[in-house]
C-alpha cells in the first residue's frame, strides 16, 4: 500500500491547474448508458474512481476509450444491465447506473451499496423515485432489481436533498414517457453539469440549477461532446493548503462562482483573494483566524470541505465550531489530526477546534477521501515528518495531488 511522506517546510507558492470534478465525471460517464451513440468527454480527471466507473461500464458492454483526460463512450453494445457487488463495494457512486439502465433497457440489477466510513448512506430515495416512475423494485440477495416496460413521468419529492439521488432520477426521467417533476432537487454544480450534458444529448430539462427540475421525456438520446466542470473541492483543498502554509497560490481552470461560500470562509480566516473568470489567487500574509461553519447542501458550505477546514482551524488563532449536518460519522479525521497535535473536542455533530501555534509530524492513517486531504494539509504545516498511510483513499478523488503540491514547493513524496 502506498504512503505519502511530507516534510513541513513553509509557504506554498506558484500555480496549480485544477482538474475536472470527480463528482461531475462519475454521473456523466454513467449518462453514456442512456444512448447508443458516441459521447465524447474532455477534462475527465485521472482518478481511481473514474477507472472503476469505466471498468463497470465496460463490463456491461460499453465501449470506453481513455486517452489522458479525454474519454469516448459508445453504448451501442451494452447488453448486461448489471453492477456487481465487487465494484459497488469499492465505489458507492456505482449506484448511478441504476436510473440510466432501467430507463433505456427496462431492467437493472445493481448491488446495494453498504454503509461506509462517513455514514450509513442509504439509497431509499433513489428507489422511491424510480418506483414513483412506475419501476417494479425488489431487493434480493443484496441486489436491487428494477423492472419497467417504460418509465412514466411522475412528480417526485425526495425526503431530503440528495445529490446522486437527483442525478439518478434526472437521468431516468430523460427517457420516461411524459413529464417528470423533481422537487427538492440538489443544486450542486455537478448536477448542473450533468443536466447540461443531457440537454446536449437531446434531453428536455427545465429549471437547471434550481431545486425544481422539470423533464419532458424523449424516445431516444443522441451523441454529444462535453467538457467536465472544474473540481471545486480539489480547488478548495489547495486553497486551504495555501492558507495554512501562509502561501501565495494561483489556481487555473476554475470559476470562483462555484466556490462562493468556501472563498468567503477563507477571507474570514484572513486570506486575500483575487479572482477572474477562470482563476483564483489566494495570499495569506499572517496566521489564519479560526472560522466556524455548518455544512449544508449547495450553495451553502460543502461537507466535502469540512475536514480540510478543520486542518486549517487546527493551526488558526482562536476557537472554531464546526457542525456537520450531512453525514453522521464524518469526523474520522479528528483522531488523526489529534495525533499531529491538534486540539479538537467532538460534541455530537459539532467539533470544537482550538487553534494551536504548531503541529508536529507523526504517522497517521487516511480513513476516507476528504479526511486524507485534511491530513495532507496538516502534514504541510507540521514540524518534521508526517507519513500518511492508506492513501488509496486520496487516489480515488485527487488527480496526482503530490505532483501538484510538489510543483508549488511542498516537500511531499509517494513511497510505494
Closest approach, Cβ 190 to ligand EPU, in A, equals 6
Identified binder of ligand EPU from the candidate list 162, 180, 245, 372, rule CB under 6 A: 162
Strand bridging mode 248-252 / 13-17: parallel
Report if residue 26 touches ligand EPU, rule: CB under 6 A.
Answer: yes
Closest approach, Cβ 386 to ligand EPU, in A, equals 21
Whether 121 has a binding-site annotation, put simply, is: yes
Report the candidate in 226, 312, 326, 319 with the shortest Cα–Cα distance to residue 21: 226
Report if residue 314 touches ligand EPU, rule: CB under 6 A.
Answer: no
Identified binder of ligand EPU from the candidate list 65, 124, 136, 403, rule CB under 6 A: 124
Report if residue 192 touches ligand EPU, rule: CB under 6 A.
Answer: no
Nearer to ligand EPU, 155 or 220 (CB): 155
Nearer to ligand EPU, 130 or 263 (CB): 130
Total residues at interface with ligand EPU (CB under 6 A): 24
Closest approach, Cβ 79 to ligand EPU, in A, equals 26
d(CA 216, CA 120): 33
Report if residue 369 touches ligand EPU, rule: CB under 6 A.
Answer: yes
Cβ atoms within 10 A of the Cβ of 360, count?
Answer: 14
Q: Which stretch binds ligand EPU (CB under 6 A): 22-30, 149-157, 260-268, 286-294?
A: 22-30
> Any alpha helices (H) in 282-416, and if so which ranges?
306-314, 333-339, 369-381, 392-397, 401-406
Identified binder of ligand EPU from the candidate list 238, 293, 309, 327, rule CB under 6 A: 327
CA angle 222, 157, 369 (to 5 degrees): 70
Identified binder of ligand EPU from the candidate list 326, 334, 380, 408, rule CB under 6 A: 326
**Displacement of CA 213 from its chain's centroid (Å):** 21
| Axis crossing angle, helix 369-381 with helix 306-314, rounded to the nearest 10 | 20
Report if residue 76 touches ligand EPU, rule: CB under 6 A.
Answer: no
> Can 116 be counted among the known catalytic residues?
yes
Residues 389 and 364: beta-carbon distance below 8 Å: yes
Site for ligand EPU in 289-308 (CB under 6 A): 303-304
Q: How far is CA 344 from CA 45, 80, 354, in A?
A: 33, 49, 6
Nearer to ligand EPU, 120 or 345 (CB): 120
Q: Which of 80, 116, 218, 227 is catalytic?
A: 116
Report the candidate in 295, 292, 293 with the shortest Cα–Cα distance to residue 118: 295
Report the candidate in 223, 234, 179 with the shortest Cα–Cα distance to residue 198: 223
Report the candidate in 416, 277, 405 with the shortest Cα–Cα distance to residue 10: 405
Whether 299 has a binding-site annotation, put simply, is: no
Identified binder of ligand EPU from the candidate list 84, 119, 209, 253, rule CB under 6 A: 119
d(CA 318, CA 314): 9
Q: Which stretch binds ligand EPU (CB under 6 A): 123-131, 193-201, 241-249, 355-363?
A: 123-131
**Displacement of CA 66 from its chain's centroid (Å):** 20
Q: Which residues of this chain interact with ligand EPU, rule CB under 6 A? A: 22-23, 26, 93, 119-126, 160, 162-165, 303-304, 326-327, 369-370, 397
- Binding positions for phosphoenolpyruvate are 22-23
Active site residues: 116
Amino acid at each position: 500500500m502506498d504512503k505519502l511522506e511530507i516534510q513541513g517546510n513553509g509557504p506554498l507558492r506558484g500555480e496549480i491547474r485544477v482538474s475536472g470534478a470527480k463528482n461531475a465525471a462519475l454521473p456523466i460517464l454513467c449518462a453514456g448508458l442512456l444512448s447508443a451513440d458516441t459521447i465524447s468527454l474532455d477534462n475527465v480527471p485521472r482518478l481511481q474512481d473514474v477507472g472503476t466507473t469505466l471498468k463497470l461500464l465496460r463490463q456491461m458492454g460499453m465501449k470506453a476509450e481513455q486517452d489522458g483526460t479525454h474519454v469516448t463512450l459508445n453504448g451501442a453494445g451494452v447488453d448486461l444491465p448489471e453492477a456487481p457487488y465487487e465494484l459497488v463495494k469499492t465505489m458507492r457512486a456505482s449506484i448511478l447506473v441504476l436510473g440510466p439502465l432501467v430507463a433505456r433497457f427496462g431492467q437493472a440489477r445493481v448491488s446495494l451499496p453498504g454503509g461506509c466510513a462517513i455514514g450509513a448512506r442509504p439509497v431509499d430515495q433513489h428507489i422511491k423515485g424510480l418506483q414513483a416512475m412506475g419501476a417494479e423494485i425488489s431487493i434480493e440477495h443484496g441486489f436491487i432489481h428494477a423492472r419497467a416496460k417504460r418509465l412514466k413521468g411522475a412528480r417526485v419529492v425526495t425526503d431530503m436533498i440528495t445529490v446522486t439521488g437527483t442525478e439518478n432520477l434526472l437521468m431516468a426521467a430523460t427517457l420516461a414517457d411524459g413529464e417528470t417533476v423533481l422537487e427538492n432537487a440538489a443544486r450542486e454544480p455537478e448536477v448542473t453539469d450533468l443536466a447540461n450534458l443531457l440537454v446536449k444529448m437531446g434531453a428536455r430539462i427545465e429549471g437547471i440549477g434550481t431545486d425544481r427540475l422539470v423533464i419532458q421525456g424523449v424516445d431516444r438520446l443522441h451523441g454529444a461532446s462535453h467538457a467536465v466542470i472544474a473540481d471545486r473541492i480539489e480547488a478548495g483543498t489547495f486553497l486551504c493548503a495555501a492558507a495554512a502554509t501562509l502561501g501565495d497560490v494561483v489556481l487555473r481552470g476554475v470559476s470562483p462562482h462555484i466556490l462562493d461560500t468556501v472563498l468567503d470562509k477563507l477571507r474570514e480566516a484572513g486570506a486575500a483573494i483575487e479572482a477572474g473568470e477562470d482563476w483564483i489567487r489566494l495570499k495569506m500574509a499572517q496566521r489564519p483566524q479560526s472560522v466556524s461553519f455548518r455544512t449544508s447542501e449547495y450553495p451553502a458550505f460543502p461537507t466535502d470541505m469540512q475536514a480540510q477546514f478543520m486542518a486549517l482551524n487546527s493551526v488558526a488563532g482562536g476557537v472554531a465550531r464546526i457542525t456537520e449536518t450531512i453525514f453522521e460519522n464524518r469526523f474520522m479525521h479528528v483522531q488523526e489530526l489529534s495525533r499531529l497535535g491538534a486540539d479538537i473536542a467532538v460534541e455530537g455533530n459539532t467539533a470544537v477546534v482550538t487553534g494551536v501555534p504548531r503541529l508536529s509530524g507523526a504517522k497517521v492513517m487516511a480513513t476516507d477521501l476528504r479526511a486524507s486531504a485534511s491530513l495532507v494539509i496538516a502534514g504541510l504545516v507540521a514540524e518534521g515528518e508526517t507519513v500518511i498511510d492508506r492513501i488509496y483513499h486520496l487516489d480515488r478523488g485527487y488527480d496526482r495531488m503530490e505532483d501538484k503540491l510538489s510543483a508549488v514547493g511542498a516537500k511531499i513524496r509517494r513511497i510505494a
